[in-house]
Structure formats: C-alpha cells, structure tokens
Amino acid sequence: MYIDLMSQYNHLQVNIKLANILNLNTAVYWAELLNVYARVINKKKDEMLANGGFFELDRSYIAKRTTLSVDDQMLCDSMLEKLDIIGRDPNDSNLIRIDIQKMYALVVEDDPAAIRDIQKRAKLKRDDQTAVKREMIRRNLNAGIMESDADILEALKVWINAMVEAKTVITKPAVEVFQKNLNAYTDDKSVKLKIIEIATVHAWADFAWAKNCYEKDYRKANGTFIGTTPKPKIGIDPKSGF
C-alpha cells in the first residue's frame, strides 16, 4: 500500500517556467498530456499517424490524474490552441494533436518582450470562455443520448448543437424525454429523422411541436413526405448578447 501511494506513478512533474509563462493549470495539464502522448506513441503510433496525428483523451482519467475538471481542461485547450501547440478535432473535442517542438520553443524563450507577446496571444477572452461554456453544455446534453442507430445518433447531436447555438433552454433529462417520446411515436427511421430535422431547423426542444409540424406539413395520409424543409434558422443573435 505504501509503495502504491508513493510510487512515481502518483507523481506529476510540472515545468515551472511554463507555469510562470502561462499558468499552473496549463502546466499541469501539459505534463499529463505528455504522459498520454508517450503511451500513444508506444502502443498506437500507426493509428495516430493514420488519423493525422490526432489521439483520444479520456477526460475523466485526466481529471483524476491532475484534479483539473473537464471545464479546466477545455480552458487549457483553448489557451494552447491559440499558440498552435494543440489542435482539436472540430467534431470531437476529445480528439487532439500536440506540437511538442512549438511548446519547447515557448519554454526555452528568454526574451521578456517575446514572453509578453506569448502571454498576450494566449490570453483567453470572453468569446473563448463562452465557447468553452457552450462545449460543456453540448457535452452534457450529448451524454443524454441513448441511441444505437448511427444516423439517428448523428441527427440528435446536430439537433442538440442547433439548440446550443440558438441558446434554447434544455436539460439532459429533456433530451431523454424527447427520445422517449420519439420512440413511442414511431419505429420508422425515416419518420424519426424527419421529426428530428424539423426540431433542428427550429431549434425546438419540445417533441410535441416537432411532431405536430410533421403531421401538419410533411405527412400524407399514406405516411409519405410532402413539402421541403427550410434552411435552419440558428446561430447567435449579435443583439441579444450571451
């Protein structure tokens, strides 16, 4: 027991200079990223290279190793992304790639003016923090999806993204209720996809609204579709703020 607790595995070496240039959280996060990256190189290098250098992070594991919450990790991601030290897959924030050479160049920098420029470029603005907040909301809502069909799963994720971008108020239980109502309404995949599409177009969280719209505008007596779906009216209203 004593050996397990005091072993090197339970220690994390942090680069003090990086902590001074950016912050301690980012230095701790980077240290664990290097540990993960080393294991990827040793065990899944070919797979990583085939994926353009991207590898997957287990955010819960990193939280356990560093005490950094997923929110904290995403903020570190945003800061390092500004410096082109990491890149994230636009469709999956758990898939990242890192540039160790750029980080090395940052850490060995001694010119005070250059360091101030690095700090200025890395500084998180309100928009960056807002983007992290939206991503966390999206991740929480996606966790409420229980679907095995790949097409319906993707459609539900697009629906959630539309609501997040449109700032529609919705909770994880509401996502679960939407699916429950959808599955109770029909077993027809094409009908499910059409109803989800309608909900996405209007950024609706309420299944009944999407179902009523489908029955009114898209369903004939024989169950076939009519009409066309307008383009989604989603996005951030610049006049509304956040």
Q: What is the pTM of this model?
A: 0.64
In terms of domains, do 35 and 90 share one? yes
Q: Which residues contact residue 119 at a Cβ distance below 8 angstroms, ignoring those fewer than 6 apart?
A: 21, 22
Tokens of 97: 């790639």
Residue ending a domain, choose from 124, 150, 175: 124
Neighbours of 191 (CB within 10 A): 18
Determine phi and psi for 55, rounding to 5 degrees. -140, 160
Between helix 126-142 and helix 172-185 the angle, nearest 10°, is 40
Two structure tokens written together for 238: 């610049």
Instruction: Report DSSP letters for 156-181, one per residue.
Output: HHHHHHHHHHHT----HHHHHHHHHH
| Residue 60: inside a domain | yes
Is residue 87 domain-shared with residue 178, that is, in the same domain?
no
Domain hosting 144: range is 135-217
What is the model's pLDDT at position 238?
47
**Per-residue pLDDT at 224:** 56
> In total, how many domains does the chain have?
2
For residue 1, the model assigns a pLDDT of 53
Q: Which of 69, 1, 65, 78 is nearest to 33 (CA)?
A: 65
pLDDT of the chain, 242 residues: tens digit per residue: 555 554 566 778 889 999 999 999 999 999 999 999 999 999 999 999 999 999 999 999 999 999 999 889 989 999 999 999 999 888 788 899 999 999 999 999 889 999 999 999 888 777 777 777 788 888 888 888 888 899 999 999 999 988 888 888 888 899 999 999 999 999 999 999 999 999 999 999 999 999 999 988 876 655 555 544 444 544 545 454 43
Task: Give me the sign of the Cα torsion angle 59, 64, 70, 72.
Answer: negative
User: pLDDT value at position 93?
Assistant: 83
| 141 and 100 within one domain | no
Cβ(54)–Cβ(95) below 8 Å = yes
Strands (E), the chain: 55-56, 86-89, 92-98
Residue 114 and residue 8 share a domain: yes
Q: Report the sign of the C-alpha dihedral through residues 220, 225, 227, 231, in that order.
A: positive
Q: CB neighbours of 183 closer than 8 A, spacing ≥ 6?
A: 192
For 73, the token pair is 């990790």
**CB 193: neighbour CB atoms within 10 A?**
16
Query: ∠ CA(33), CA(39), CA(45), 5° rounding?
Result: 105
Contact between 198 and 210 under an 8 Å Cβ cutoff? The reply is yes
Is 213 within a domain? yes
Residues 169 and 118 in one domain: no
My answer on whether 114 and 139 are in the same domain is no
CA distance 176 to 220: 28
pLDDT at 168: 84
CA–CA gap between residue 72 and residue 124 (Å, rounded):
12
